[in-house]
Amino acid sequence: MKDFYNGILPENPVFRLLLGMCPVLAVTTAVANGFWMGMAVIFVLTCSNVIISAVRPFIPRQIRIPCFIVVIATFVTIVDLVMHAFLPGMYEILGIFIPLIVVNCIILARAEAFASRNPVPRAAADGLGMGVGFTVALVVIAAVRELLGTGNLVVAGRALFGAGLPIDPALVMILPPGAFITMGILLGALNLVGKKKE
């Protein structure tokens, strides 16, 4: 349980560890994109953590990284094929960032730092927690960007604010620069809150 919770707040992979920034910035143009990217990462992270933890006694130390990468790449390929078949629209939007989950630093970092040193149940909890933490971060960033960039939030195909908020949508927020700026300001705000607590 503690391993699960750890990934959500104390060691949130995005806000605390700053891992796997590329998809965080790239796919957070809308809440739905962020959510599905998060789902894909949860699946890959949990499965690869379980497998790596299960086979850890048989992997020689010197070649562990290539072994981890093969395991991760296998699950990424599964996600790639499943998404292509069942969510073709989302597959188009996420595009290259689905195969690129393979080189997402979070997954390799958890495999190396946690799964290869802990028993299967703990590794599974860690993978799930980190994945959920990642998804929460993506959804938060995506919500800010979508709200400011389009003046509305679309959840499960329904617009939350009807005709939209009475603000002028700032297109820049859903363009690449908006991603960097939102992320920077969110991190700054979190630092501020963290300082106050201490």
Partner 1 sequence: MEFVAIILGGVLINNFVFSRFLGICPFLGVSQKVETAMGMSMAVIFVMTVASAITWPVYHLLLDPLGIEYLRTVAFILVIASLVQFVEIVMQKVSPTLYQALGIYLPLITTNCAVLGAAILNVQAEYTFIQAVVNGLAAAVGWALAIVLFAGIRERLDLADVPRPLQGFPIALITTGLMSISFFGFQGLFKQLFVR
Binding site for partner 1 (CB under 8 A): 18-23, 25-26, 65-66, 69-70, 73-74, 76-77, 80-81, 96, 99-100, 102-105, 108, 172, 175-181, 183-185, 187-189, 191-192, 195
Residue 98's Cβ-count burial label (10 Å; 0-12, 13-18, 19+) is buried
* Dihedral sign for Cα atoms in the order 29, 34, 40, 45: positive
Smallest CA-to-CA distance from 29 within 186, 167, 150 is with 150
- Cβ-Cβ contacts under 8 Å for 157 (sequence gap 6 or more): none
Q: Which is nearer to partner 1, 159 or 181 (CB)?
A: 181
Q: How far is the CB of 142 from partner 1 (least distance, A)?
A: 14
Q: How far is the CB of 143 from partner 1 (least distance, A)?
A: 18
Q: Which is nearer to partner 1, 18 or 167 (CB)?
A: 18
Place of tokens 């891992």: 19
Q: How far is the CB of 28 from partner 1 (least distance, A)?
A: 10
Q: Which is nearer to partner 1, 18 or 55 (CB)?
A: 18
